[in-house]
Structure 1
């Protein structure tokens, strides 16, 4: 609150800031979710079906890299300039992708979008910590987690509508009016940080962090699929990643303003909460990846209907995220929430491990909702508790870590689960494939399976169901680890005051 503002005026301004922050989060998260319905169309029009996954990988890689860097820049230069530049970069990437006439150009646009989008998410969430004391953040962070759930539901619907009614190019152009409107409003309501001596920027640390994250994400996405695990290219990536880790540790230990301070990893709550976030990310992205496959191939539903089965999970995520935020506001405590969430996620994954060809669809919907209930608190509790555990000078980079580790968990988890699924299916159907009853397993889809002879179809359906069971059992085991680790959290009561309100907020 400034001297010229009354408390009521301050509350109104903070409310407007939070509304803009939610819109920024929606803009960035729609960049992840609205494009997926266009992938088949883009592949058909531009060619390169074997490279279409790079439209996902490029965005994921760029956003993972930009998150911690933008978080630190926000700490150094203020949130306003970083979030404005992030919007401009995101919109620039949208234009490049929308105008793309080759798959390479669209992929470049997606990478540029990711650089802006990753920064937008973490900087916007850090703004919440700038304008609200810790005790009040829980409710708002829960609502912000709900924004991600909303984008996962409406993103594919918007994308599908634009592809069918206009063209896939408009999925990217759709971002422009919304982004420009938010840019103007933020210029009016966010105050710029006061002039200060130019702080040192840890360029070497940023480059090494980008390198090690790139290697990690690329290995997770390419290993066992595009590149064999023992290939020279993958081993080179691994060696480069190891060298980047060593160089990063040395650089950050000496830097005046490290891009990701190593002291954070000595913070018990920082480490344990990010571990929880990684496991939740693996569970969420793994479920989103494999459940549509199960529903379409085993249950025989259409792609549209299989997408609708994500709604119960997203409702669970939104509901439990908001509820956890309300509980933190009411009690000022949070340690028991990760423990309960991990227990709920464990039960949900054990239920998912019982899926079979004859599982009623209503039970599938209930299981999906249970998964959402176990994941949701990580959205609100994780960010709030991490922010509460670190110094105010590290709010941006600490907030960025929550998003970074969740993305890393999702990327690595999906890759490992994908390798397990492929090898398990190959092992179960090797006999049928050997006697010529089945062709290339990579070409199996719902239509192909539906046209198989009844006995062979039943064998394939059982194989598809059973190969998912180890995936969900491992996810359940990881959830137990998250719950046990949460027992070691140190309860730091959430503050009810804003100790150092930043001038730009």
Structure 2
């Protein structure tokens, strides 16, 4: 930041508190704490995946293993809107410290879990903190850095999501094969403690008081609605793949009806309360609406693609758990390069519309290219494919958050930020569930067609296939299994491409609002620019 920022006493702040000067050094210290916190939260969405077979086997939870991931995603999605609103109402310092503490506590509890139920419960606690870390980190940057200069800070934040999506499986595999899966959780403890200390010392943000009553009804309804959506999209992993989406199941029908009712009730309540949790008038802002739609479709496409590529690599190349993560490194490089590069370019030019337009077009081209994958393809070619897709995603993720924050009143930065992230998270849950259904049905059909009497001499079923089992099959049988996976995965990307193209079309209509030269706290009268 080219100028320092000096805080002044806000209406709810303590009158005897000395003004604080946010120098360039202080901003970078805060930024470091925010980056560490965001990395912790995003990493834990992917680190458990590769360690899952070992974890559920040791804790006797194989039949319900989906809950380990579902509990975390559910908790994150539930609290995102709540943290955004609370931060706007009372200030962001204490909610941020509480979020770090919850995440660190949940990590410790998950690492020491003695049963599967304990693990799921502590993963939920992790998520309650993780959702706050994601939202408040982005909102705090908006508080202390003007939108005109924010790109160079938010670019690295966007790169973190791509980095964690690749590093997570790598670390999960390494811990599982090395010191043990519990270290996948314990590694968060020292980082979390360090983040709390830095936040306590450096994160000097004003507190506020809101004379309007908090929207408890909206909060309760959005918890119910979000829970229903996540549980519906995770239904197959909860009840078991062999049961699946049986719409004759009364539980499933009741859950769907309750979810719809909660969504409708939430919309009604938000139009009537004096200070709504998510002000629906924000959707009359075309920039906010378009950026939110783009976040939703990107979440559907990005996380769906990332979820199944490691499995394909393990089956087709014989790569181990850790090695398959290394093969995804080109995607991480693509995300980092374009997220950071676009952030710097936005800071220099003040223009941002071109990046989501080009990014979504590039992401779509990368997905089209991925429909050409084969079991025996060169890993250099595969790396180039996923580099292209990662480069496209890196241009979009944080740019739309910046556009969202810049388009709303400074008093609603937290709500706007949380809404954008919330819909992206919901998109990821819905997209992954739909993609999993398409891929799994195709795979089952391909394998049953290739092996009508079962796989191998023992007539084993496709449900028992693991990378080690496939590697031990005779060459001709293994080739058929790999082909079945390839022919199931490659065409499935065609279902994601229209979603990304919808986002591309919306991006063409994204208004380029002039980037503000005032930090959020300055615009709200809580700080003044120093010289």
TM-score clears 0.5: yes
Distance in 2 (CA, whole Å) between partners of 1:144 and 1:283 is 20
**1:41 offset after TM fit, Å?**
2.4
Aligned to 2:59: 46
1:127 matched to 2:145: no
Asked if structure 1 preserves the Cα contact closer than 8 Å seen for 2:406 and 2:513, the reply is yes
Q: Indicate the residue corresponding to 1:348 in structure 2.
A: 366
Q: Does 1:105 align with 2:118?
A: yes
- How many angstroms does 1:157 deviate by? 4.2
Judged with a 3 Å threshold, the aligned counterparts in structure 2 of structure 1 residues 159 and 439 are, in CA distance, closer, same or farther, namely: closer
Shift of 1:485: 1.2
8 A contact 1:87–1:116 mirrored in 2: yes
SS at match of 1:434: coil
Answer whether contact 1:192 1:504 (CA < 8 A) is retained: no
* 1:353/1:153 CA distance change after superposition, 3 Å: closer
Distance 1:447 1:36 in 2: 17
The equivalent position to 2:80 in structure 1, one of 67, 79, 84, is 67
Deviations 1:464-487, CA, capped at 9 Å, x for gaps: 111112321122222211111111
Residues 122 and 430 of structure 1, relative CA distance in 2, 3 Å threshold: same
Q: Tell me whether 1:492 sits opposite 2:492 in the alignment.
A: no
Decide whether aligned partners of structure 1 residues 400 and 419 sit closer, same or farther in structure 2, where only a CA change above 3 A counts. same
Is structure 2 residue 229 aligned with structure 1 residue 212?
A: no
- Which stretch shifts more, 287-296 or 207-216? 287-296
Q: Gapped runs of 5+ residues in structure 1?
A: none
Alignment partner of 1:464 is 2:485: yes
How big is each residue's C-alpha offset from its partner over 1:162-199, in whole Å with a ceiling of 9 and x where there is no partner?
44554333332322222222212212222242453554
Paired residues, what number? 505
Q: How far apart are 1:495 and its partner, in Å?
A: 1.7
Report what 1:170 is aligned to: 183
Distance 1:127 1:217, change over 3 A: same
Q: 2:318 maps to what in 1?
A: 300
Residues of 2 paired with 1:49 and 1:241: CA distance? Answer: 28
Cα deviation digits, residues 4-26 of structure 1 (max 9, x gap): 99999622222222122112212
The CA deviation at 1:491 is: 1.4
Cα 1:422–1:77, aligned 2, differ >3 Å: closer, same or farther? same
SS at 2:206 equivalent: coil
1:148 aligns with 2:161: yes
Q: Does 2:410 correspond to 1:371?
A: no
Distance 1:136 1:314 in 2: 24
Q: What is the CA distance between 1:54 and its match in structure 2?
A: 1.1
State the Cα distance separating 1:364 from its structure 2 match.
Answer: 0.5
Taking a change above 3 Å as real, the CA distance of residues 182 and 429 of structure 1, as seen in their structure-2 partners, is: closer
Q: Which moved more, 1:493-502 or 1:231-240?
A: 493-502
Deviation at 1:285, TM superposition (A): 1.5
2:444 maps to 426
Q: Does the residue aligned with 1:2 lie in a helix, a strand or coil? A: strand
- Of residues 366, 387, 412 in structure 2, which corresponds to 1:394? 412
Displacement of 1:295 in angstroms is 1.2
Deviation at residue 79 of structure 1 after TM alignment: 0.6
TM-score (norm 2): 0.89
More helix by share: 1
Q: 2:105 aligns with which of 79, 92, 102?
A: 92
**Structure 2: stretches of 5+ with no match in the other structure:** 9-17
d(CA) in 2 for partners of 1:373, 1:110: 31
Match of 2:497 among 470, 476, 486: 476
Q: Does the aligned pair in 2 maintain the 1:223–1:234 contact within 8 Å?
A: no
In the superposition, the TM-score normalised over structure 1's length comes to 0.94
Task: Answer yes or no: is the 8 Å Cα contact 1:309–1:368 preserved in 2.
Answer: no
Question: Secondary structure of the residue that 2:352 maps to in structure 1?
Answer: coil
Aligned residue for 1:32, secondary structure, equals: coil
Distance 1:24 1:198, change over 3 A: farther
Q: CA shift at 1:2, angstroms?
A: 2.3
Q: CA RMSD in A?
A: 2.4
Q: Is 1:228 aligned to 2:245, yes or no?
A: yes
Separation in 2 of the partners of 1:75 and 1:267? 19
Per-residue deviation, 1:100? 1.1
Q: For each residue in 1:378-411, what CA deviation from the matched residue of structure 2 results, as whole angstroms up to 9, or x when unmatched?
A: 2220110110111111101111122212221211
- Do the aligned partners of residues 28 and 503 (structure 1) sit closer, same or farther apart at CA in structure 2, a change above 3 Å counting? farther
Question: 1:182-236 CA distances to partner (integer Å, 9 max, x unpaired)?
Answer: 2122122222424535542111101111111111111111148364241221111
- Summarize deviations over 1:443-495 as a string: whole Å, max 9, x none: 22333334445444433322211111232112222221111111111111212
Aligned match of 1:2: 6
**Mapped partners of 1:197, 1:312: distance in 2:** 47
How far apart in 2 are the matches of 1:31 and 1:238?
28
| Aligned-residue offset at 1:158 | 4.0
Equivalent of residue 380 in structure 2, options 362, 369, 373:
362
Deviations 1:338-372 (A, max 9, x none): 11111101110111000112321110111111110
Structure 2: distance between partners of 1:485 and 1:197: 36
1:322·1:380 contact (CA, 8 Å) conserved in 2? no
- Output one character per residue of 1:28-87: Cα deviation in whole Å (capped at 9) or x when no partner: 223333333432222222111122221111101100111111011000010101101111
